[in-house]
Amino acid sequence: MLFTLLPVLSVFSRILLAFAPAFLVPLAWAWFLDAQHHALVWAYGFAFTTVCGLVLWRSTHRFRRELQAKDGFLLVNMVWTLLPAFAAAPLMFTVPDISWTKAYFEAMSALTATGATALSGLDELPVSVNVWRCFLQLLGGLGIMLLVVAVLPLLGLGGVQLYRAETPGPMKDTKFTPRISETARGLWGVYVLFSVACMGAYRWAGMSWADAFMHMCTTMGLGGFSSHDASFGYWDSPTIEAVATVFMVLAGVSFMRYFIVLRQRSLRPLTRDREIRTYVSVLVVSVLLVAVLLTAQGVIPDFPEALRTSAFHVVSVATTTGYASTDYAQWPVFAPVLLMFLGCFVSCAGSTGGGIKLVRMVLLIKQARRELVRIVHPRVVNPVTLGGAIMPNAVMTAVFGYMLIYGAATMGLTMLLLFTGLDIVTSFSAVVATVNNIGPGLGLVGPASNFGVLNDFQIWVLTFAMLLGRLELLTVLVLFTGHFWRK
């Protein structure tokens, strides 16, 4: 057991050292816009994380070896449980009256790009605190592990194991370059390119530089944190909402596809992709449906205004971002329930969004249709295909296994919250919102409220739910099986 952990800890020490410079981002903002003692907090956070990384590296560096599959899963879980602890520590000294439970929840929500917050009074918080919360979502959106694979040469050895453990979606073995580190660098290059464009667009639309930076982070990471309690209702600007909608739609598509587009200098990888075509179709139909409902029910009598409001909120929740410009929980009940449902599956595999991913839903629908055909024609050969390619049985088995565990985890965590006395709407929507990394739920944790109304035990349950969702359940739950720990 110790022999297994020491090489993993050796790699984790380097990840910790790579994470430490992230504290310099809020430090820079604090230096110019906050009080000096806030800058010192981020400086101490940088120093503490660096020292811990150096001490851990010094103690374990001689145990380096090739990373195996088990090592990859151990390391990914270690990163996503321990880094939030380091990220949460400065919040204890910069956010008034915050408990460790809420600080860790906030950091986990940021790094998993969930966007569920336990804080209120965001407008009064130091700028550096909001910058930190949002910047963590930019890092967590595409996955810290992919960044590390791209930056640290040592993870070129066995780096594919981390890629498989971290990359969302059912087809984790897909590579687009001979070396996994090259793939990771390409993905992060595309990510940075889109992020710069997003920040410039927000600034052009009327945001301050600070707000443009923060909301760029949470838009491209599809995390949804904001520097204002009213979220996008703070501006009430059609232009700003339009910019957000466009970049949320873009971030909901696989960044691997953008990488291929740039390599081939052709849009065909986007236009011919079945998942992307379905993604756009679902969004368009849902936007029109909600807009018609809001107009017919008299919530927003003006159809163009209803269309604008519908587009922003449908895209926001469906891509698991979680921005809001109004309390959509007060709309006719069909609309908020539809939004939560869309957030469970609409994001594409390889995007920064959460949920079960649209490709899985497409495969499940194709399998269901295949079974209906087989009832009528038992001997027909009708394999499940995607983009003209026959799906291997291993992929379909993985999809079925994932969906079974997804349903069981959602129901189990919901029952656990119900046991604590929460109402059914709050319990179920909170679990759906955190497992799928959507952000706000309904009931007590709706878009007009936050998760700070829950008690500590309930918050820890939902913290675990965010971890499960970010690592797509199996990566976490495999650690609880006896087979994983056997040689």
**What is the reported pLDDT for 413?**
97
pLDDT at 169 over 90: no
Encode pLDDT of 288-303 as tens digits: 999 999 999 999 999 9
Q: Which pTM was predicted?
A: 0.90
**What is the reported pLDDT for 159?**
44
Q: What is the mean pLDDT of the chain?
A: 86
pLDDT at 468 over 60: yes
Q: How many CB atoms lie within 10 A of CB 441?
A: 28
pLDDT at 15 over 70: yes
Which residues are CB-neighbours of 465 under 8 A, at least 6 positions away?
A: 409, 413, 431, 434, 435
Mean pLDDT of 216-221: 94
**What is the reported pLDDT for 181?**
66
Q: How many CB atoms lie within 10 A of CB 264?
A: 10
Evaluate whether 244 touches 219 at the Cβ level (below 8 Å).
Answer: yes
pLDDT at 155 over 50: no
Mean pLDDT of 439-455: 92
CA distance 407 to 393: 21
Q: Where are the domains of the chain?
A: 268-343
Tell me the CA end-to-end span of the chain in Å, nearest whole number. 10
3-state secondary structure of 381: coil
Q: Three-state secondary structure along 147-208? A: HHHHHCHHHHCCHHHHHHHHCCCCCCCCCCCCCHHHHHHHHHHHHHHHHHHHHHHHHHHCCC
* 119 compared with 162, residue with greater pLDDT: 119
pLDDT at 157 over 60: no
Which residues are CB-neighbours of 116 under 8 A, at least 6 positions away?
A: 105, 109, 322, 433, 434, 439, 440, 441, 445, 450, 451, 462, 466
Where is average pLDDT lowest: 20-29, 132-141, 286-295, 466-475? 466-475
Token readout for 256 is 């691997």
Which residues are CB-neighbours of 446 under 8 A, at least 6 positions away?
A: 327, 329, 429, 440
